[in-house]
A and B are shown apart, each in its own frame.
Chain A
Amino acid sequence: MSHPVRAPRLNNNDDDVRLTEVSVRVGDHVTAGQPVAELETDKANVAVEADRSGYVLRILAEADTMVKVGSVLLWIGDSPNDTVPDESSGQEVARPSESGEPTAKARILLARHGLNAADVPARGGRLTAEDVEAYVSSRTLRAAAPAPAPAPAARMAPMASGRLTPLSMEDRAMLRSVLWHRDEAVPAYLEIDFDQQRWEEYSKAYAADRRLLGDPLLGLIAQRLGAIAHDHPKLNTTIVDGARHVYDHVNLGFTIQAHEQLYLVVIHEAETKEPHKFIEALNRLHRKAIARQLRPEDLQGATVAFSSMARWKVNQHVPILPPYVSMMVAHTVSADGRGVLGATYDHRVLSGGEAVMVLNRLSRPPE
C-alpha cells in the first residue's frame, strides 16, 4: 500500500511554502522519522520527515519550487512494487491504522507460534515481542480454557513532577536509533584487546609524511573498517522484511561530538576513497558539525559505523546500532593505556566469529 507525504502547514499565514530540497530518490528505503525533504520559512528551514518506513515510489515536487500546504510531495510504499494513485484523479490512499502493527521480533514470534497479529493484544501503539510472549505465556498457564486477553498495562509515567518539552531534531533522531536497536536488531557485543601502539606509530608516520596538523589515527582506523567491509560484503548488509539487503556501497558512519551534540556523520562510498581522501572527507564533515552546517545527507545512509571514546579514557563503551547498520565498532584506550576494540553487531546478520574476525583485522594497520 502506498502512503502520501504531504507538505505540512508551518504557520497560519502561508498556504504556499518553498520546497528547498528533496533528500531521497525513487527506490530509496526510508525509516520512520527520517528527513525526506526540507521546507523554508522566513524564520527557519524545516525538515519534512517520513511518518513510516518504506520505499520511495514517486516524487511529485521539485526542489526550489513553491508547493501548496497539504499537497503531496512524494509517495512511500510498504514495498517497492506498490503503485501510487493516478495523479490526475487526486485520490489518496487512506493510511491504515498502525495500531497493533507488529515489530520485526514480534512477527518472528507470531510465525513461530502460529498466531495471527490480530489475535494478540498490543499494550502500546505497536505489537511487540513482549506482547506476544505475554499472550503465549497466558495461554500456556490456562491450557484448559481459552486465555482471556490480558488487561492493557497502565501507561507509565514519571512519579516526580516536571514539565514536558519537545525533543529537538537531533534528539528525535537519537530516539529513532535506540528504538530501532531495541525493536528490530538482535544486538550482541564483544571486544578484544589490541596493541594501540602499532596503530599510533603508523598514524604518526602517515601524519609526518603529509605534514598533517591533526592526528589522523581514528580516521585511518575507520577507513580501514570501510575497506574490510568492502572485502566482506556480509558485514555491509542488513535485514529488510525478512530478506538480506546487500548495500551497493560502504557508507561509513563516524561519531563526532560537536558542542553538546553527538552526530553520526556519514562518509559515502568509503570503499572508493584512499586514506587521504577519506580523512579529508571526515575533516570536512567535522568542520561542518562544529559550524552547525551539517545537511541531512551528511547524516543519512550509514551501512557500517565507528565510534571512539579514547578521548575520555573509558574502559568500555557498548554502542547502539544505528538503523539498518549491522556492525558498529567501538574504539577506546583506557586510562592505563589498554587499547580496546569492541563491536555491537546484529546477530541476525553476523555471527560472533565473523565479528571477531573483523576486529582482529582492524587491530592491525595495513602492511
Chain B
Amino acid sequence: MHDVQDARDRIRRKIMELAQALGRDGSKLGDDQLIPQSGLLDSASLMMLIVWYETEFGISTENEELTIDNFGTINLMVDYLRRHQ
C-alpha cells in the first residue's frame, strides 16, 4: 500500500499538470474539493486523470465505478486506492 500522503501528492501533481495544459491553475485545489466542479479539468482531462491513476497505482477500474463518490476529490481517490490494494 502506497503511503497515503505520497499518493495524495502524486494525484495533486497530476491534476495540476492537466489543469496547466488547459491554462488553469490547480495549486489551490483542496483535498476535499470536488474536482469536476472546480473548473480545473474538462471531461477529456478527467479521463486522462483516470487512465494515469490506473497506470500509476497499478489498479483497474470498471466503468460503473467512475463516479463522484469514488473519484470526486483527491481524498476520495486515495480512499479508493486503499480499498483496492
Contact = CB atoms under 8 A, between A and B. Distances in A.
B30 interface: no
A312 B8 CA distance: 30
Contacts of A210: 67
A287 B50 contact: yes
Interface stretch (A27-35, A212-220, A265-273): A212-220
B68 A284 contact: no
A215 B36 contact: yes
A280 B47 CA distance: 12
Residues of B contacting A: mostly: helix
Q: How large is the interface on A (under 10, 10 to 19, 20 to 34, 35 or more residues)?
A: 10 to 19
Given A215-B36, A290-B51, A280 B63 contact: yes
B55 interface: yes
B85 interface: no
Contacts of A214: 36, 43, 46-47, 66
A56 to B, nearest CB: 32
Given A213-B66, A283-B63, 20 more contacts: A212-B66, A212-B67, A213-B46, A213-B50, A213-B68, A213-B72, A214-B36, A214-B46, A215-B36, A215-B42, A215-B43, A218-B43, A256-B44, A280-B64, A284-B63, A286-B47, A287-B50, A290-B48, A290-B51, A311-B44
25 contacts: A210-B67, A211-B67, A212-B67, A213-B50, A213-B68, A213-B70, A213-B72, A214-B43, A214-B46, A214-B66, A215-B36, A256-B44, A280-B63, A283-B47, A283-B66, A284-B63, A286-B47, A287-B47, A287-B50, A290-B47, A290-B48, A290-B51, A291-B51, A291-B55, A311-B42
Interface of A: 210-215, 217-218, 256-257, 280, 283-284, 286-287, 290-291, 311
Top 3 nearest A-B pairs (CB, nearest first) are A214-B43, A290-B51, A211-B67
